[in-house]
Chain A
Amino acid sequence: MAEAEESPGDPGTASPRPLVRTFSLLSYITKLIITALQPGQQSETPFQKKKEKMRDLKAVGKKFMHVLYPRKSNTLLRDWDLWGPLILCVTLALMLQRDSADSEKDGGPQFAEVFVIVWFGAVTITLNSKLLGGNISFFQSLCVLGYCILPLTVAMLICRLVLLADPGPVNFMVRLFVVIVMFAWSIVASTAFLADSQPPNRRALAVYPVFLFYFVISWMILTFTPQ
């Protein structure tokens, strides 16, 4: 997207900006922690704090709507945040937990495994996109990839509900259909945001890892069997 804040392919000035971004993110987190640990501060009234929280939640909700109805808009890219992806990742990892405790070796993915796959996969795709010469910033890309897990989280919810019914081929067909539809939705949503940031002769190279990433997550959802 043209509004991305980093200039493309300029080795001299590109290196300080991620550092500045990381530093500002760290200082934002530190500020959050400090304000949370000091309830007696009179700098903000409870009403103002609540208003701020509602504003943040509204921002996250607005991004959810942008993912569900993907259009070429810049909101997701300009005001990136990582709260939404974190909430989605934690929800997905929790729902993928099995009920039995003896599922260590042969079971489904553990909580940490899902976390690692989602975040490590998103970072790898972002690095790949930047190495291929895309002009999207690191955290913007992470934000988009994380938010586009929303359809798959919805699919996981539906699958868990469907699994409460009788097991059988119909059950599996319904789950397969839902997962395929949500997988296609995720890909369309993320491609709508990410494809423009690449030159046209490398678009397929940048989109293929996104396809692989969501395919693996869909596979984890589809093979989920509660004990």
Chain B
Amino acid sequence: MASADELTFHDAATTSRSDQLTPQGHVAVAVGSGGSYGAEDEVEEESDKAALLQEQQQQQQPGFWTFSYYQSFFDVDTSQVLDRIKGSLLPRPGHNFVRHHLRNRPDLYGPFWICATLAFVLAVTGNLTLVLAQRRDPSIHYSPQFHKVTVAGISIYCYAWLVPLALWGFLRWRKGVQERMGPYTFLETVCIYGYSLFVFIPMVVLWLIPVPWLQWLFGALALGLSAAGLVFTLWPVVREDTRLVATVLLSVVVLLHALLAMGCKLYFFQSLPPENVAPPPQITSLPSNIALSPTLPQSLAPS
């Protein structure tokens, strides 16, 4: 019977509302896919559904000072995180990272721990290259260089959180100008950037191999993959805009990414003299990369 069906669906909706367990989407599906309604029932259903959704909405957004607000950003399983990482490693042109992998449920676990891992891996491998260089050339002074951990951490986190903030702000401003663009939320932008940094981790580990042209090759490969992922994800949002703004925005995004990769290479891996070039005496534990500029042409010459 139609009325019994309506009652059961209403009951299910009521109990689920009181449990606060089902998310908003599920409740909407349960209410909307009810049995056969008459015409007058439909109007009632619509208003009931609107009231129910509104109530759900009010209950679904706890204040940002409560713990459960942040818990909603960590609502991922191991398999989901691994799937998102795989999606960022293999970007495909039509395959939007946000729609296919995030499925509009961004998480903070991936960006946070990928940045932490990258910062520590940078510091550790930078230190390791110094150890390996010292074993080949004992005149180099070895020191643990612990301050590089701090530098790595601050720079990676600033990049992975401030650049998405700027990008999100810019896209929202453009949305005000061009009505048809639907920008990503702030968390989705952070997710895009965070997961795109994952490919730098194996790149940094492979930079231990002390062959300069191989290092630049790995760097270019990783940068290409990462930037391609970013561009393919941002393209559907940006293509509604004018050509000029779209190209400028995408090239700025790629340029910043390239600057990050280059900065990592030059700051953390500077003390590695190539084997066929005499090591310059200045390559001790100077942290600034200004000292590297006279040696850059030498290390680039074989490649």
CB within 8 Å of B: which residues of A? 11, 14-15, 103, 105-110, 113, 128, 130-133, 201-205, 208-209, 212, 215-216, 219-220, 223-225
Contacts and interface: CB of A to CB of B under 8 A. Distances in A.
A138 to B, nearest CB: 11
A103 B266 CA distance: 23
A225 B143 CA distance: 8
Contacts of B146: 107-110, 113, 220
A13 B90 CA distance: 44
Interface residues of B, number: 30
Contacts of A105: 147, 287
Contact of A225 (B68, B81, B124, B142): B142
A203 B78 contact: yes
Q: Give the dominant DSSP class at A's interface.
A: helix
B147 A216 contact: no
A105 B150 CA distance: 12
A133 B75 CA distance: 8
27 contacts: A11-B67, A11-B68, A106-B143, A106-B144, A106-B145, A106-B147, A107-B144, A108-B144, A113-B150, A131-B73, A131-B74, A131-B109, A132-B74, A133-B71, A201-B77, A201-B78, A201-B79, A202-B77, A202-B78, A205-B77, A205-B109, A209-B113, A209-B116, A212-B117, A212-B120, A219-B124, A225-B144
B144 A224 contact: yes
The 6 nearest A-B residue pairs measured at CB: A131-B74, A106-B143, A11-B68, A108-B144, A201-B77, A106-B285
B242 interface: no
Contacts of B70: 131
Contacts of B124: 219
Contacts of B127: 219, 223
Given A11-B62, A106-B287, A133-B71, 16 more contacts: A11-B67, A106-B285, A107-B146, A108-B144, A109-B146, A110-B146, A113-B150, A131-B70, A131-B73, A131-B109, A201-B79, A202-B78, A208-B113, A212-B120, A223-B144, A224-B144
A109 B144 CA distance: 8
A210 to B, nearest CB: 12
B28 to A, nearest CB: 22
A220 B146 CA distance: 9
A215 B147 contact: no
Interface in B97-113: 109, 113
Contacts of B79: 201
B18 interface: no
Contacts of B50: none
A128 B109 contact: yes
Contacts of B142: 225
Contacts of B67: 11, 14-15, 130-131
A215 B120 contact: yes
B76 interface: yes
Given A11-B62, A106-B143, A212 B71 contact: no
B74 to A, nearest CB: 4
B109 A212 contact: no
Nearest to A105: B147
Contacts of A107: 143-144, 146
Residue among A212, A215, A220, A223 with max Cβ neighbours from chain B (10 Å): A223
Contacts of B68: 11
A103 B143 CA distance: 9
A80 to B, nearest CB: 20
Interface in B46-66: 62, 66
A128 to B, nearest CB: 7
